[in-house]
Chain A
C-alpha cells in the first residue's frame, strides 16, 4: 500500500547511531528501491526487521532509493522512527502527512 503523495528520495541522508540498541539508517538516491540490512541480531530477527523496514517505506510511499540499515539490536519502534527521519531528510518534502507516520 503506497502513500498518495510518494516521498521522493532526492539526496543523501543519515539518521540514528551505531550504539547498542540503536540503528543507523543511510539513504541515497537510486533508480530502484534497494534495501540492505546488516544486523547484529539478523539470525534471530532478520525477518522481523525486514518487515518493519519494508512496511515503513511503503507507508511513506518511498518507491526508489538505496536504504542501508546498520542495526545494533534496536526495537521496532526505534527502527521505524530512525527510518522516518532519514526519509524526511532525504526527500524534498516540506509538509508532513502525520497520518502516515504511525
Chain B
C-alpha cells in the first residue's frame, strides 16, 4: 500500500462531487451506486479516489478497489475502516452484499457467507456463529407434526385480513409459526405491531408468535421492502430474504408450508409473493422445498382488506369505516393512538 494512501468517510448527501468519482469507480467494477448507502469510506492516493465501501445502516455494499491498487493491504485497511465506522455508530452485527466470486476477498474482512443467488449476489455476515445461535434458539420452539405452517407479516397494522389468513393456515396445519417483521420502518412501531398481532391471535392454540430478526424481511436481508412507499422496487433482492428462510429458519423449526395472502393491490408485495413461489418452492437448493400456499384475501364490500387501505383511511381519520377492516383490538389502539387528530377533526 502506498504510504500516501489516505482513508476517510464521507456522507453521501453532503458530497456530490466525490459521489461522481465514487460512481465512476463503481461503474469500472460493474457496480451501480446503491441509493440507500448513507456513508462511504473512501481511499485517496495522490488525490485519486482508488477504493470505496458503502454503509447502509448495518449493511456494507458498493465495495470497489481500483484495478491497479488491488494489493491485500489496501483492501484490509478499507475493511477495517468501514467496520470501525459501523461500530462508532453502534452497529456491530454487520451484513455485506457482493458478487459471489468475491467470497474469499471478504472472508479476509471477517465475513462469513449466508446465502447466494447464483451468479448474481451473495450476503455475508461478520460472525461465524450468529446465524447458528439464532437457529438454535428457534429449534427450541420446534413443534411435532407433519404439516408445519409459517406466516411472515409486517402487520402495519394487524387487520381482519391477517386474522383470516392466520385462522385458515392454523386450521390447515399441525402447528403454525407466525413472524412479525422486526424493522421499525413502518407507520406503526414494531412493539405496537407485535402487541396487536399477539392480541389478535391469542385464542389460536396451535400457534407460536415469533419476534422479528435481522434474518427475516429486515433492512439487511430485504432493503427494497421498506421502500415501497416511494415505489422503488429492487428485483432480485427478495431472493436473499427467501433463501435465508428456506436454508436456515424453516429447517430449524421444521416448517413445510408458507402461507401468504393474495396481493391484488400492492405491487411490491405481489412481486414478493411470486418470488416466494420461485425461491422457496421451485428453485434448486440444498435445502428442502417449502410449499407456498397463496390464500385469497378476505374482502369487504367487494374490496380486499389490506393494511395499506387501513393506513389510507387512518390518514383521512375515517374511523367510522375502519371497523370493517380491523379487529376491535386494533381499532381501539388506533383510536387511542390518533385520538388528538380525531378530536380536532371537523
Task: State the A residues within 8 Å of B (CB).
Answer: 12-14, 17-20, 24, 26, 28, 30, 34, 36, 38, 66, 68, 70, 72
Contact = CB atoms under 8 A, between A and B. Distances in A.
A36 B93 CA distance: 16
B128 A38 contact: yes
A20 B87 contact: no
Interface string B44-85: 000000000000000000000000000011001101100110
A19 B109 CA distance: 9
Given A26-B110, A26-B126, A70-B110, A18 B83 contact: yes
Nearest to B72: A20
B189 to A, nearest CB: 23
B92 A68 contact: no
17 contacts: A12-B87, A14-B83, A14-B84, A18-B109, A20-B72, A20-B73, A20-B76, A24-B83, A26-B126, A28-B93, A36-B128, A38-B110, A38-B128, A66-B127, A68-B127, A68-B128, A70-B110
Contacts of A20: 72-73, 76
A13 B92 contact: yes
A24 B80 contact: yes
B92 A14 contact: yes
Contacts of B73: 19-20
B126 A19 contact: no
The majority secondary structure among interface residues of chain A is: strand
A73 to B, nearest CB: 12
B108 A18 contact: yes
Given A34-B129, A38-B110, 11 more contacts: A17-B76, A18-B108, A18-B109, A20-B73, A24-B110, A26-B92, A26-B110, A28-B92, A28-B127, A66-B129, A72-B76
Contacts of B127: 26, 28, 66, 68
A28 B93 CA distance: 9
Contacts of A17: 76-77, 80, 84
Nearest to A34: B129
Contacts of A14: 83-84, 87, 92
A36 B110 contact: no
Given A24-B80, A36-B129, A12 B110 contact: no
A66 B87 CA distance: 16
